[in-house]
Amino acid sequence: MDSLYYTTLLGLFATYCGYRYLYACHIRSKLDHIPTVGSSGIFSSYSTAWRFFKDGHTVIEEGCKKYGSAFKIPTLDGWQVILNGPKMLEDMKKAPENELSVLKAFVDIIKADYTLSPESMINPYHIEVVRTPLTRNIGARFADVRDEIVAAIDDNFPSEYDWVEMSVIKPIQNVVVRASNRLLVDLPLCRDKDYCELNIQFTIDVITDAIKIGLFPRFMHPVVGPLISKGKVNVKRAMKHLTPLIQERLELLSEHGSEWEDKPNDYITWLIETSEQLGADWQRGSIKDFAVRVLGVNFAAIHTTSTAVTHALYHLAAHPEIIPKLREEVEEVTAREGWTKVAMVQLKIMDSFIKETQRVSGGGATIMLRIATKDFTFSDGTFIPAGTSVTLASHVVHQSERPLTPQGSLT
């Protein structure tokens, strides 16, 4: 009996391995027309995947110099097509969500079903909140956000005029999380230390957990994902802070409707109202769901902004000759327009400086990750089958004096 059991189990395992091998061959064959950096073998490709995991910049540079506009790289999570050149950039920008999906790529890269919440991605109406009411109200809430930035800087940076040695990134994160949440949840919660620390750590937890989950084959993700991810713990911690605020807001909206005097003009209000307008019936009134969407927006906002500001400060320290020009522009514009959203748009030198620091120091090896939801053909004829992960080479291009193509020719 035991012999039959183990024989059956071994047979099932061998059958499954055979299926996975044939499936991997099928997926690879759909991309045979796109050249590969490193090995393209089912098993040997893992050596290149590991090299890409450890030093992606070098692997992508190799592909850009050797193949030009499109090539593929094996990753620990599957094949990824890397695009290169301004034409490919324009094609990516013009492609609609139902052809090259940002959301699917985001869900896949952060393993959102385990690190965040699968429900929030089924009906991602919080994206609409960010695009419309949040963006529209930046001007109206600008004075509050500036007030929080000033207060946060006073709390996190020493006021002495002498030199003070300190790590910059953590204080900058503290400023950014408070400024962001002044718009998201307002006072007093935006100044709560535990709440702020949660949102700073949440992004680190998500990325770290997603990387760990990605080290396992996809068929194992439903098993290892819940074991590895700190998502449930973080959501529970967020609910401790957000439940009283959300509950109060739900009661006020239920009592007064969409308009009343002194109605809070923040992300919590916009989130609840948008969920009602879009008819999110199965999510309506779910404090846990709202809390997840607050964490999600913080995930997108804090570390990207903090890193950009930190790089800018380092470049200013290295090139102090730039400081007088920036200060002169800020003083001239704010004297004319005040500290307003209109004034920020007119800071042309500041805008150029920050963009240049991002070109030199910002971001990873690639940008604009997408997943093809249907077969897609780029303007140069490059064909991408449905289900393929595609992204654009960025760092190596930003560091090159000319666009990287085979033999160094211009694109």
Question: Is residue 7 predicted with pLDDT exceeding 90?
Answer: no
Could you give the maximum distance between any two Cα atoms of the chain, in Å?
A: 88
Question: Is residue 22 predicted with pLDDT exceeding 50?
Answer: no
Query: What's the CA gap between 161 and 158, in Å, rounded?
Result: 9
Query: What's the CA gap between 384 and 387, in Å, rounded?
Result: 9
- More confident: 280 or 123: 123
Neighbour order of strands in the sheet with 389-393: 70-75, 78-83, 389-393, 366-372, 100-101
pLDDT at 323: 94
User: At the topology level of CATH, where does 118-318 sit?
Assistant: Cytochrome p450 (1.10.630)
Query: What's the CA gap between 78 and 91, in Å, rounded?
Result: 23
Query: What's the CA gap between 173 and 199, in Å, rounded?
Result: 10
Domain spans in the chain, listed from the N-terminal domain onward: 2-116+366-408, 118-318
Mean pLDDT of the chain: 83
pLDDT at 51: 81
84 contacts 405 by C-beta, under 8 angstroms: yes
Question: Is residue 353 predicted with pLDDT exceeding 90?
Answer: yes
Angle, CA of 55, 60 and 65, to the nearest 5°: 135
- What is the DSSP annotation of 80-146? EEEE-SHHHHHHHHHS-TTTEEHHHHHHHHTTHHHHT-HHHHHS-HHHHHIIIIIHHTTTTTHHHHH
Q: What percent of the chain has pLDDT over 70?
A: 85
Query: What's the CA gap between 5 and 195, in Å, rounded?
Result: 53
Q: How confident is the model at residue 268 (pLDDT cuts 50, 70, 90)?
A: very high
Query: What's the CA gap between 296 and 129, in Å, rounded?
Result: 12
165-216: per-residue pLDDT in tens?
A: 888 899 999 999 999 999 999 999 999 999 999 999 998 999 999 989 988 8
177 contacts 203 by C-beta, under 8 angstroms: no
- Which tokens is 183 given? 């718009």
Q: How confident is the model at residue 403 (pLDDT cuts 50, 70, 90)?
A: low
Q: How confident is the model at residue 9 (pLDDT cuts 50, 70, 90)?
A: low
- Which tokens is 165 given? 């040695």
pLDDT at 258: 74
Strands 383-384 and 376-377: antiparallel
Domain 2-116+366-408 falls under CATH 3.30.43.20 = yes
DSSP for residue 191? G
Query: What's the CA gap between 248 and 290, in Å, rounded?
Result: 13
71-90: per-residue pLDDT in tens?
A: 888 887 778 898 888 888 88
322 contacts 364 by C-beta, under 8 angstroms: no
Query: What's the CA gap between 388 and 247, in Å, rounded?
Result: 42
Query: What's the CA gap between 209 and 231, in Å, rounded?
Result: 9
Q: How confident is the model at residue 411 (pLDDT cuts 50, 70, 90)?
A: very low
Backbone phi, psi, residue 329, to 5°: -65, -45
Question: Is residue 218 predicted with pLDDT exceeding 60?
Answer: yes
Q: Which long-range contacts (CB under 8 A, 24 or more apart) does 136-140 make?
A: 137/183, 137/265, 137/270, 138/183, 138/341, 139/340, 139/341, 139/342, 140/265
pLDDT at 19: 42
Backbone phi, psi, residue 335, to 5°: -65, -30
